[in-house]
Structure 1
Amino acid sequence: MLRMSALAGSALLATVASAGTVTVQVKAANGAPVADAVVMVASTHAPAGPIRFPWPNVVKQQNISFQPHVLIAPLGASVTFPNMDNVRHHVYSFSRPKKFELKLYGHEETRTVAFDKPGVVAIGCNIHDQMSGFIVVVDTPYAAKTDASGRATIANVPDGAATLKVWAQGFHAPGNQIVAPISVSGTVQKVVTAP
């Protein structure tokens, strides 16, 4: 029994030892940091099973805006859309990964939408044209959003060849996304500048 525990412990250490941390700094063409960019690492060594993130799959309508403005949602997730405003909203998307329409609903009512295809889903409100937001549906557990300094850190990425993808609303690239190969080993630091 003790030998099995030792072997299991060795396997766990080997798994932990073969993972790295990827830190990405996203900058605009003028050098300014880009907040709310989505950084994804696609690894062929990702564990199987459902993807979960530590934040809730929720996009609130509050102060006549979508909060958060950008949500990273795992593939297959159901995202809730609570209305916290004292006015009614009509949330919709015409995006290819998920077209939907949540007809008028009021204060403290909630609707839910399941996202079954990866990609970027732009959302709006049919009543309030100034409202816009994005749900980035990912099929990798290695994803994070940049902070106000334009930085995102993703831990426990398996060592080896991987693909780095960075999406941001203002990128002048196909699909507003930059894609580049990377090699993960220990700590990887990358700077991505908007085209």
Structure 2
Amino acid sequence: MFRTPGLVLFVLCLSTVSRVAALDISLQHKGKAQHAPGAVVWLEAKFSLPDHSLRDNKSPAGSEQPPVKVIEQKNRQFDPYISVARLGSNIQFPNRDNTAHHVYSFSKPLSFELPLYKKRTPAPIQVENPGLIALGCNIHDWMIAYLVVVDSPFYGQIEKDSVNFKELPHGHYTLKLWHPDINNGQALTSDLDFQGQTKHNIALPKEVNARAQIAAPQERLDEDEDY
């Protein structure tokens, strides 16, 4: 059967574009499901990605603005406790409390301070280096949160028991996982050869005992601080 070069090229392009599939990733230790809500999972491709796969799926379609991640101060806690953002994102720290907070980080990827403020949102801070950013409040020492900055369009967080990647191109990846109570707070790294399988389990070195975020002491919640 005779095929024109144009038709062959069209079929090859169609085949390449269609080589994406959904993948559900969960955590296990010795075959037993592990629970670590909020754990950050991301995939770093070991191959050249097509242009359409490089767009951050957390941004509105067609948007040229960097993604925005919001980390609130609410009830004298950071919310959410664990966040993930793509490199280049703008991070906002709105204070929803009636008391002032002094947000800061001394982490290597991003060191900054937002001096005392309340009931407002300071100008966003752009993250320009990948890595783990530990957040604190200089007034309320129990306020701790974590932001993981990744240089990849494929990232998410464990909800209930798993995280789902809806349109993942076939290929070889470095799979990374981070949670403060897994692997002594160090990213857990493994290889993934994704060829369309629907599920993948990350093997953990030991069982997870995920601690809850530290709550504000009730007596401090009852105080009417003013700075």
What TM bracket, shorter-length normalisation?
Answer: 0.7 to 0.9
Tell me how far apart the structure 2 counterparts of residues 8 and 82 of structure 1 sit (CA, whole Å). Answer: 51
Structure 1 residues 181 and 106, CA gap change in structure 2 (3 angstroms): same
When normalised by structure 1's length, the TM-score is 0.85
Q: CA deviation at 1:28?
A: 6.9
User: Do residues 190 (structure 1) and 193 (structure 2) align?
Assistant: no
**Contact between 1:82 and 1:111, CA under 8 Å: does it hold in 2?**
no
Length-normalised TM-score, structure 2? 0.74
Instruction: Note if contact 2:68-2:90 (Cα within 8 Å) is conserved in structure 1.
Output: no
Query: 1:3 aligns to what?
Result: none
SS in 2 for 1:152: strand
Distance 1:134 1:12, change over 3 A: farther
Q: Structure 1: which 5+ residue stretches go unaligned?
A: 1-5
Runs of 4+ in 1 over 6 A off after TM superposition: 6-9
Amino acid at match of 2:165: I
- Listed as ranges, the matches of 1:1-195 within 5 Å are 13-27=14-28, 31-43=33-45, 44-48=47-51, 51-54=56-59, 56-147=68-159, 149-173=160-184, 176-195=186-205
The alpha-carbon distance between structure 1 residues 128 and 99, as it changes in their structure 2 partners (threshold 3 A), is same
Deviation at 1:132, TM superposition (A): 1.0
The alpha-carbon distance between structure 1 residues 108 and 182, as it changes in their structure 2 partners (threshold 3 A), is same
More strand by share: 1
Q: For residue 9 of structure 1, report the CA deviation from its aligned partner.
A: 7.3
- When Rg is computed on C-alpha atoms for both structures, the one with the higher figure is 2
Letter matched to residue 166 of structure 2: A
Deviations 1:128-174 (A, max 9, x none): 11111111111100001001x2310112121111111111111125x
- Note the alpha carbon deviations across 1:107-148, whole angstroms, 9 max, x for none: 13434211000011010111111111111111100001001x
- Partner secondary structure for residue 15 of structure 2: helix
Cα offset, 1:192, TM superposition: 2.1
In the superposition, relative to structure 1, how do residues 27 and 132 fare at CA in structure 2: closer, same or farther (>3 Å)? farther
Task: Measure, in 1, the Cα distance between the counterparts of 2:176 and 2:198.
Answer: 14
Residue 56 (structure 1) shift: 4.3
Deviations 1:22-75 (A, max 9, x none): 221125798541111011011123345563515841111111111111221110
Identity fraction in percent: 30
May I ask how many residue pairs the two structures share in their alignment? 190
RMSD: 2.7
Distance in 1 between the 2:204 and 2:138 partners?
31
